[in-house]
Structure 1
Amino acid sequence: KIAATKRNNRIKKSAKNGDSQRKGRASPTCHELLGEAIARVTGFMNTLRLDQRIEADKKDPFFRMVTWLKEGGARFPELYMRRYRDDHRGVHALTNIDPQKEILYVPLKFIMTSEMAKSSPIGKSIALSKVEVESSHTWLAAFLLSEKAKQKSSFFYPYISILPETFSTIPLFFKQDLLDELKGSFSLEKIDRRNEHLRKEFDAIAAKVPEFKKFGHDAFVWARLVIITRIFGIVVNNIKTDGLVPYADMLNHKLPRDTAWTYQDTLKGFTINTCRPIKLGEEVFDSYGRKCNHRFFVNYGFALTENEDNEAVVTVRLKSSDPEASRKARIFQNFLVRPYHERSYQIPAKYDQKTRALFGFLRLCKMNAKELLAFAGERKMIRHDPEALLENVLPTSKRNELLVLQEVQQAAETAMSAFSTSIETDEKLLKNKDYKSLNHRNCIVMRLGEKKVLQWFIDLADRATRMLEYRSFLSFASHAKAIMHQDTEFDVYVEKVLEPLAINESMLL
């Protein structure tokens, strides 16, 4: 009613003051204005009734959960849930909401925490068995399954009853035709590892805890997916823990974030506050953090079309034909860099910590006898952090860096060749919406993101090689000025690597 009144008032005000866009045309009659107002209000109210069906239908499990939460002291008066399709829903604003305003409060008693799980009967049985639990999520998964088995006698039944029965968008359950769409993607390895880990975790505990074995492997996988898709990392009474927070876990992901969440000991509950103004009817988002698409894809079942945190995998090697191979192998072994003969790096399209480790490994691999002697003499560092050693290996000469760039380009091209489609093909498929299902679309987005990262490194090698071919620093600086500020991440590599290298080489000349 409030929303309808506001809209009606805006229409009346517009009619009274005159609409500048109507100049030059006949003024609308009262009947036309009234008809327009009725159409707008009716349309909004029909939409609102449809959207609120999740919570308004007393037979719907969501109604039961909302009632359970409200009766227990939870607060979210300015929010409602909207269902887009059977397996997709979101949270929307019932009114205009100011920034820095609390929009949700869930008392601690409604939150399933890891501590609660460990102190439960099933948790104690697992602890007494002395079995090594590899993932902290397993404790909550076991507790969730034990509570689910209680059905309506469980305090958490209203929450458990709204949890999805299946996870059709999670690639762990993809059939071969969809997995074939991921040919060349390192997400296939991630999927295999996740399935292997879940099987290993279940079998290890089931062998020692009979009551856990009764749940079955499929149910355990379901519970683990519930945890990973809904978990919040919180601190309760100075204890870091994980928790399932009803209603809060209904918010979808977006960057930059709309909201900020935390657990507040003073309130003894979980709260969400707005970070910006949110308009009536607008979807309210959470942020799942900055992640590569493979984590969104494998863990949550979606992939972002634009994601600057995407990564790709390249494999590089210390060639056995290198005349200094044995000396380099000893250095790698001495600094605990293993394996050293072949290493795979998961890297983003930027010169960050991960990329520096890749370049550092290759710089060592490409050093000549003189450079190797100087490096071995300089490095008297702690051996317990080999990656820190690699990240801080600087280029020793233009010759060295040119060889590194050549190796990076070849590794990226090799990884690119493993895909069945090109970047252009995938972009066209997405633009024309030429995919069979949402899962098919996510496969395309996933592989396209990797290929764009690989292409960035191929292009970086081309551009950097051209810059290093200039003999004078003035020529280098002139070319750098012409091409920089077009790619911020490439600029970082120029400033941190190429520019100091060009200055040093010019001084030597």
Structure 2
Amino acid sequence: CGKPPVTGSKELDDYPEIHSCVEKIRKLQSGLSSGKKDRSDSFKDFFTWLTDNNVDISTVEITATGESGYGLKAKEHIKEASLFLTIPRKLMLTVDSAKKSVLGELVKEDKILSAMPNITLALHLLCEKYTPDSFWAPYINILPESYNTPLYFTSDDLHQLKGSPVLGEAVSQYRNIARQYAYFYRLLQKQEPYISKLPICNNFTFDEYRWAVSTVMTRQNQIPTEEGSKVTFGLIPLWDMCNHTNGHYTSDFNVEKNVSECYALRDFEAGEQVYIFYGARSNAEFMIHNGFVYPENEHDRVCIKLGISKTDTLFQTKSDILGQIGILPSRSFFLHKGQFPVDGELLAFLRISTADDALLREQFGGNVTMEMLENLKDEEKPICAENENKVWSFLQTRASLLLKTYPNTVQEDQEELNSGKDLTVPHQMALQLRIGEKQILTSTMEYCSQKCSEGEK
């Protein structure tokens, strides 16, 4: 989580009112959005478009996948580290292409839009969707009609996230998108020539905006700007059909050739689905931004918000020490999946935040070297036994309290997930998310207990 998660009983306070208002708007706009279509009907035209623009599609094809919708399948053996996909910039929908499009003048005039490249890309996508002869029509026609991001969750779906930090993030995301929609809806009513010529003026429904935002959020990738001096966002056709697996980055942008290149993560046999690695993200991030949960996620983690109280008489001293190693006195940390749930930054914070005046004076009252400060992040180099016991006792208690905020146990969640009931996709994702988070909190408690026992020996 990039920002501290919203937690507690207030996170849903204004959601019912906002959701009710949005649903009334959606009902009024029900006949304005584009009709439903089977995206697979457009695959043939999409591949023709790719080949007409010199994209080699000899190694992969689109395939239906149960839980993922669609993905890419190998048409022949693809060797690990071999280049199997090359997409030229001209096929990408980017912030740069938005600025050159019919939307360009609005981007230049509106300060909010010019400061939000991802929203610029979303509106660009919508404009092209409603431009009959759009160059990108073959690509847009194969995009999903809806997504499994929390923007599509019902109130019941959201309540399945109770206890998880994701609940606050999901509500915040919905609230922000509703506010953005209201802002841009009013903006598009203005009688300015550069606005009235936009193809979305008569089709700018909440459903269309939610779809465009979700498309960008789930599929965008960072690429260099055309002049190469900065980084911007873009949608990369075909490449964005690859689903996620554990691994490492194998995609890059070749500036000299002006193309996106994707190399095989491992060997893929003919007929096998081809996966790529999206990045070291938690399942919370995958759910919020990509609309899926990956139970085997090696990089899963739980966000935990900690801070030194400003009423602490040692607040300034502790803040100064932490500041020297780039740690704020109040911020979000992570508990990680795996054998070692605590990283160096969290450990350093806990060691300083639990230290008393005498210990701080003794250890950090004189000449403090960077090596001494960096040692705070090293589990093998405690300040002293008493402080170390405080660290692990505190964290064990905090993890225990966080675990109690969930209404169900891991066992109950697992039983429901495996019950065979006809659960909605959001409900299944919520169960998978909760199970993973609780397992991390439980393993953290066990790890802390072990460290406390070691300290007593």
| TM-score with structure 2 setting the length | 0.77
Match of 1:5 in 2: none
Match of 1:221 in 2: 210
The answer on whether the counterparts of 2:417 and 2:428 sit within 8 Å (CA) in structure 1 is yes
Q: Where in structure 1 are there 5+ consecutive unaligned residues? A: 1-56, 471-509
Q: Name which structure has the greater RCO, CA cutoff 8 Å, separation 6+.
A: 2
Alignment of 1:203-218 (within 5 A): 203-204=182-183, 210=190, 211=195, 214=201, 215-218=204-207
Q: Where in structure 2 are there 5+ consecutive unaligned residues? A: 1-37
Among 79, 96, 101, which residue is 2:60 paired with?
79
Q: Distance in 1 between matches of 2:328 and 2:260?
A: 45
The answer on whether the counterparts of 1:302 and 1:442 sit within 8 Å (CA) in structure 2 is yes
- Asked if 1:185 corresponds to 2:160, the answer is no
The answer on whether the counterparts of 1:123 and 1:142 sit within 8 Å (CA) in structure 2 is no
The code of the aligned residue for 1:192 comes to V
- Asked if 1:264 corresponds to 2:244, the answer is no
TM superposition shift of 1:306: 2.0
The answer on whether the counterparts of 1:126 and 1:205 sit within 8 Å (CA) in structure 2 is no
Q: Which moved more, 1:400-409 or 1:368-377?
A: 368-377
Look up the SS of the partner of 2:112 in the other structure.
coil
CA 1:458 to 1:469, structure 2 compared with 1: closer, same or farther past 3 Å? Answer: same
Match of 1:331 in 2: 317
Q: Distance in 1 between matches of 2:75 and 2:254?
A: 25
TM superposition shift of 1:203: 4.5
TM superposition shift of 1:399: 1.0
Match of 1:153 in 2: 133
The code of the aligned residue for 1:463 comes to Q
Match of 1:244 in 2: 235
Among 92, 95, 103, which residue is 1:114 paired with?
95
The code of the aligned residue for 1:183 comes to K
Match of 2:390 in 1: 403
TM superposition shift of 1:272: 2.7
Match of 1:412 in 2: 399
Q: Distance in 1 between matches of 2:367 and 2:335?
A: 25
- Asked if 1:287 corresponds to 2:268, the answer is no
TM superposition shift of 1:317: 5.7
Deviations 1:298-345 (A, max 9, x none): 11111112223222233556579xxxx6431232565797985x7653
CA 1:403 to 1:120, structure 2 compared with 1: closer, same or farther past 3 Å? Answer: same
Among 460, 463, 487, which residue is 2:450 paired with?
463
Q: Distance in 2 between matches of 1:369 and 1:58?
A: 65
Q: Distance in 2 between matches of 1:468 and 1:276?
A: 43
The answer on whether the counterparts of 2:265 and 2:276 sit within 8 Å (CA) in structure 1 is no
The code of the aligned residue for 2:64 comes to R
CA 1:207 to 1:388, structure 2 compared with 1: closer, same or farther past 3 Å? Answer: farther
The answer on whether the counterparts of 1:357 and 1:391 sit within 8 Å (CA) in structure 2 is yes
TM superposition shift of 1:207: 5.3
The code of the aligned residue for 2:358 comes to K
TM superposition shift of 1:104: 2.6
Among 242, 245, 268, which residue is 1:254 paired with?
245
CA 1:431 to 1:362, structure 2 compared with 1: closer, same or farther past 3 Å? Answer: same
Among 357, 362, 367, which residue is 1:369 paired with?
357
Deviations 1:261-308 (A, max 9, x none): 333344443333334332121111122122110111111111112223
Deviations 1:113-150 (A, max 9, x none): 22111232313312223336554211211211111121
TM superposition shift of 1:100: 4.1
Look up the SS of the partner of 1:60 in the other structure.
helix
Deviations 1:228-262 (A, max 9, x none): 211222235534332212111111111236x8333
The answer on whether the counterparts of 2:322 and 2:349 sit within 8 Å (CA) in structure 1 is no
The answer on whether the counterparts of 2:78 and 2:268 sit within 8 Å (CA) in structure 1 is yes
Q: Which moved more, 1:295-304 or 1:189-198?
A: 189-198
CA 1:268 to 1:355, structure 2 compared with 1: closer, same or farther past 3 Å? Answer: closer
CA 1:390 to 1:172, structure 2 compared with 1: closer, same or farther past 3 Å? Answer: farther
Deviations 1:134-185 (A, max 9, x none): 54211211211111121x2111111111111211x22222112222222111
CA 1:279 to 1:392, structure 2 compared with 1: closer, same or farther past 3 Å? Answer: closer
Look up the SS of the partner of 1:121 in the other structure.
coil
Quote the sequence identity (%).
24
Q: Distance in 2 between matches of 1:413 and 1:359?
A: 18
Deviations 1:62-103 (A, max 9, x none): 111111111222211122212246971121122233344433
Alignment of 1:439-458 (within 5 A): 439-458=426-445
| TM-score with structure 1 setting the length | 0.70
Q: Distance in 2 between matches of 1:432 and 1:86?
A: 18
Deviations 1:399-427 (A, max 9, x none): 11111211111100000001112122233
Q: How many residues align?
A: 402
Q: Distance in 2 between matches of 1:245 and 1:334?
A: 45
Q: Distance in 1 between matches of 2:334 and 2:68?
A: 32
- Asked if 1:68 corresponds to 2:49, the answer is yes
The code of the aligned residue for 1:161 comes to N
TM superposition shift of 1:468: 0.6
Match of 1:3 in 2: none
CA 1:432 to 1:86, structure 2 compared with 1: closer, same or farther past 3 Å? Answer: closer
Match of 1:172 in 2: 151
- Asked if 1:194 corresponds to 2:173, the answer is yes
RMSD over equivalenced CA pairs, Å: 3.4
Look up the SS of the partner of 2:444 in the other structure.
helix
- Report the structure, 1 or 2, having the larger helix content: 1
